[in-house]
Amino acid sequence: MSPTMTKPALSPLPPDILKLSFEDALTELEKLVRQLEDGKAKLDDAMSAYERGMNLRRHCEAKLREAQARIDQIAVGPDGKVSTTPFAS
């Protein structure tokens, strides 16, 4: 991307996607991918499925980031004392 171009802002995720758990969103995304790979959908249907798939992917990525932020690492100090520290990716 050139320095004069800016990335377009991402639109908010649809409410029905925001309500999905990570597992449910991933399952639906996998189903959409199989349907698109099958290649039998009409163009308009394929474009809609692709757009929904991209939103499901964004939702899954956000859920993973949230989970990673909540993970604590257990550390044992030199004195043998156990503590937790934020997860560093």
User: Is residue 72 within 8 Å of residue 87, measured between CB atoms?
Assistant: yes
* pLDDT tens per residue, range 9-65: 788 999 999 999 999 999 999 999 999 999 999 999 999 999 999 999 999 999 998
Token pair 């692709």 in the structure block, residue: 50
Backbone angles phi, psi at 25, to 5 degrees: -65, -40
- Residue extents of the structural domains in the chain: 15-86
Q: Is the pLDDT of residue 81 over 90?
A: no
H/E stretch holding 9: none
Rounded Cα–Cα distance for residues 61 and 70 (Å): 14
More confident residue, 85 or 63: 63
Q: Is the pLDDT of residue 2 over 60?
A: no
